[in-house]
A and B are shown apart, each in its own frame.
Chain A
Amino acid sequence: MASILKLPQSEIDKICAGEVVERPASVVKELIENSLDAGATRIGIAIEDGGKRMISVMDNGCGINPNELESALSAHCTSKIRSADELYVKHSLGFRGEALYSIASISKLKIASRRAEDQAGAEIAVEAGEVVEKRIIALNKGTSIEVRELFLNTPVRRKFLRAKGTEVNFITSMVLDYSLCYPEIAWRLESDGKESFATRGDGDLTPILKRVFDAEIAQSIIKVDYRHSSDLQQGTDVGSFAAGISISGVVAHPQYYRSNRIGQHFFVNRRPVRNRIFYRAVDDACREYMSAGKHALCVLMLDIPPSDIDVNIHPAKQEVSFSEPQQIYALITIGVKRAISVAAAEQQATLARDLASDEMPPSPVNGIDDRARPDESDDREDYVKEAVTSTPDNKIAGPHIDKEISPEQRNTRSIPLYTESKTLPKPKRPVLSIAEFASEADDKALISAETVGEITPEDLSDSQIMGQIGRTFIVFIKNDALYLLDQHSAHERIVFEGIYRNAINRESSPPRQGLVFPILLSLRPDQVDGIKMYIPVMNRLGFQIEVFGEDTLLLREVPASIAERINIEVFRSIIEGFLVTGTEKSYNEMVKHVAATTACKCAIKAGDELSEAEMRWLVKSLTRLESSFTCPHGRPTLVKLGVRDVGKLFQRA
């Protein structure tokens, strides 16, 4: 056995660097934060080959003393704190003194900087941590850092980098995030010599939101601006703790949603973070307006005294923990809920005003139908008052969006006969939590799925369909046994088998149904880049997708076997599924992955009401498949309860 030795410093550095620098985007992040801490008002980022070949960040910040340039690259050297205690009161973004040192130790790095008071700037070049060149150069005020050949001495990390498009996607999303937090800074991002994003730095969020979401959604956003005020009723969860805390930002109108969290951007003290409390708070705040599994689009910024949070959990500082998480949750939930209900009230007022000014005939149900206006309760008015009086003087440059949202923009759905009494769209069905159901079933250990193995395909074609429970499970009886079928995972398996087998068993693409009107999906240019590698695979499965311009996908044909399941929303969620999981795989793995994603997104959902014919079709189609008893993700599709199983429920041994 090898003896135990202390690692040489160079190896320790590589290991430590891995903690901070995970991918090109982490380099961009560290460099941007340095620029921000230097008080820059213009920050330019340029990348080549997704940052794998080159990353450069230029700013007009305060610059570095030429004599200190070299020490800036040493471990735990920082101008930002003087002792570990300061970590917890610090408002600056960086402070650990690790970033530059870590990056320098795994790349070829050049740093050039000039302070306003110096005659000339200084430049220093470092390769894998060793200084190779120092010189005096002419330079504008500010600092520029260029990183080439990232991971040059950590080949494994280099190998794990994803496709160029994916890395560009990571970097773009991150720069967009920072531009949301710092709209007063002029940002510019350039990829392979082409400008992909630029802001004027005038504090206006609208153009950034158009880029982050899309133009249509950016028009419909609702401003969130809430801080705990002392006159708030006791009894809410926001106690005295929350006095110095505020939540601001925007949420998109609930008619827009996504089935993933791509559209959710959270920041704490102007730092992008990921935190479950935010997720839960926004979901709960929007629960009234969208069904389970749908997530609102939002940009939310929490301003909180640094003493109440710990961002020092991880070197990348993306995670954050709160000293009072429950109260943060309550603050966010209330803030978002109120913003939406105020918008709903305004919408109603605008509608009423429009109707009055047009001298429309009196409303057929105005003031009569109590049922249709549950939002008109007293606390709704309180909400309005509360939000109006809540202080707008918080320090974060809140979004400056004054666009009035017209009712037409808000509601593109069917207008009911009696429009006046309706406000925001209500969820069409009771919110259903599968997770809750499942955990309950587990706890009681009522049902075991072991017996499923006995089911043979011929068994079930003429079963007696009993119905649907929870609009999620189909119940049917055959040969003295009760069966439960999960409509989503069953249909998912059917669709998957259809398109996947079709693709691998045929030499050419499966039959494709042409669309009368091609579906146009607008995305961000970097998302389009990220999707490009999936297009040949999707075309192989029977889609006909073309890239149209730099930010639009055009869908002309769909696999004939699932033609009626595809619409723009399904198409969007398939595409977004790839953005979340984008990673390099072998071609065959990609085909399987794309087929599974497509099946999942276009399958019947839990909560869809089915006719008896549809249920019968599902049962029949599922049992005809070879591997029918789990969905492509491995969840069971069918559970059988024999007489003995039911007997156990009644404690008959």
Chain B
Amino acid sequence: MKLRIGRLELDKALGVVSRAVSMKSLGSYQQFVKIAASSDGIVSLEATDDELYTRVSIEGSVTDEGETLVSPLICDLVSRMIGDEVEIFKEGASLTVKCGRSRYQLVCAPADHFPKISDYKTGQAINMQSSVLRDVLSKITFCAYKGGGERSSYYTSGVLFRFTPEYLDAVATDGHRLGLKKCRGKFTEETVDVMLPASNAEEIMKFLPDDPELTVSTFLSNNQLFLEFENMVVASSLLDVKFPDYSRVIPSEKATTVSIDRKEMHDALRRAIIVSRAKQHNPVARLKTVGDVMTIFTDATDVGSGEEDLPCEVTGDDIEISLNPGYLVDVLSQLSCEGILFYWNSKVTPLVVSTSEDEDYTYVVMPIRIE
């Protein structure tokens, strides 16, 4: 294998691919980046940790075709090298990477063991704008349960995509709050449920450019989800668990609507958490409106207490509810709109967060009951 390739392009591609290299010591292809050069000038870079797979194809001038596995150290080297072009060639069991005044030989391994990705374009593609998919993921993924361990086989560790002829629903929950983003449009002929592991959803979100012009083609094949866009292919394993019926969770009634400034609320909650989290792992805060003022109360035994007053607009009865302020901070930091809306029914029913900019987004926080 021998090729020359633009350093910036290669650096960008390696930056993407290296995200799928496994950090755990599996001692096999999962810890390497695969480089393959074909005689038509296409250089493809691949990596997988068996859960997530990435491939980026870039153009270079290939003198000798071939393929090899190489340590992900190549990513750091290329990003720090100085020069416009990188020369890569294989000699025996090492791969030489040359750029400017630098020359490095990296130990490499045969690529025979690296899995060959099957032809995934067997079914109908589901096409979405990259910016839309990115927006969906950013508003939903954080709702899933972050920890690993045995819990990773529950519905709390995944993001559900329900594709239907009329809409797409993306839903995730950690059991105490739930996010739902609806996108209208025809996605599939019949309803298809896909459970994407939350950790992969988070990675995919980082790969997607915030570009409304760019289309992402999605394919379901062999219990895997493939996304194809620009010069990239990303594949994720899927969770084989059933997501409970989320439609029942979202209250249909809206006894009270509160409109409030997102940034002010966000800042106030972050201050309140300083006190309430000082001793308790899971903080508690109480929200109460009187007229056009919302007060956030925190009270931690042996630590202290605090109050935050915020101007707001209330339609309906005054509200009062206790909840984990962390769940509100999470959603408020994901949103970028100016104002947010709370829908409230009672102190024992879920609080709904939405925005006037995106009415198809619903975030539900379960209350904390204090007697």
- A contacts, CB < 8 Å to B: 360-365, 368-371, 408, 411-419, 508-509, 511-517, 544, 557, 560-564, 567-569, 608-609, 617, 621, 624
Contact = CB atoms under 8 A, between A and B. Distances in A.
B240 A362 contact: no
B161 to A, nearest CB: 16
A368 B241 CA distance: 29
A364 B117 contact: yes
Contacts, number: 139
B284 A416 contact: no
B44 interface: no
Interface in B338-371: 348, 350, 364, 366-371
Nearest to B148: A609
A391 to B, nearest CB: 37
Contacts of B175: 515-517, 563-564, 567
B229 interface: no
B149 to A, nearest CB: 6
A517 B154 CA distance: 12
Among A360, A415, A568, residue most surrounded by chain B Cβ atoms (within 10 Å):
A415
Contacts of A609: 148-149
Among B120, B153, B244, B364, residue most surrounded by chain A Cβ atoms (within 10 Å):
B153
Nearest to A569: B150
B238 interface: yes
B50 A414 contact: no
Given A414-B153, A415-B237, A515-B176, 16 more contacts: A361-B119, A368-B115, A416-B51, A417-B237, A508-B370, A514-B348, A514-B369, A516-B175, A517-B173, A517-B249, A560-B284, A560-B324, A563-B176, A563-B324, A568-B154, A609-B148
B246 to A, nearest CB: 8
A514 B118 contact: no
Interface string B233-258: 00111111100100001000000000
B123 to A, nearest CB: 11
19 contacts: A360-B118, A361-B122, A364-B116, A365-B116, A368-B113, A368-B116, A412-B241, A414-B152, A414-B197, A414-B237, A415-B237, A508-B371, A512-B368, A514-B176, A514-B369, A517-B175, A544-B369, A567-B151, A567-B175
A608 B147 CA distance: 11
Nearest to B370: A511
Given A361-B221, A513-B368, A413 B240 contact: yes
Nearest to A508: B371
A330 B312 CA distance: 73
B145 interface: yes
Contact of A516 (B117, B118, B236, B364): B364
A419 B223 contact: yes
Contacts of A419: 222-223
Contacts of A560: 282, 284, 324, 368
Among A415, A418, A509, A568, residue most surrounded by chain B Cβ atoms (within 10 Å):
A418
Nearest to B283: A560
Contact of A564 (B145, B154, B364): B145
Contacts of A568: 154
B142 interface: no
B156 interface: yes
B322 interface: yes
A564 B197 contact: no
A514 B368 contact: yes
Query: Sorted from nearest, which 5 A-B pairs have the closest CB atoms?
Result: A514-B366, A361-B118, A508-B371, A364-B115, A365-B115
Contacts of B122: 361
B52 to A, nearest CB: 8
Contacts of A511: 284, 322, 368-370
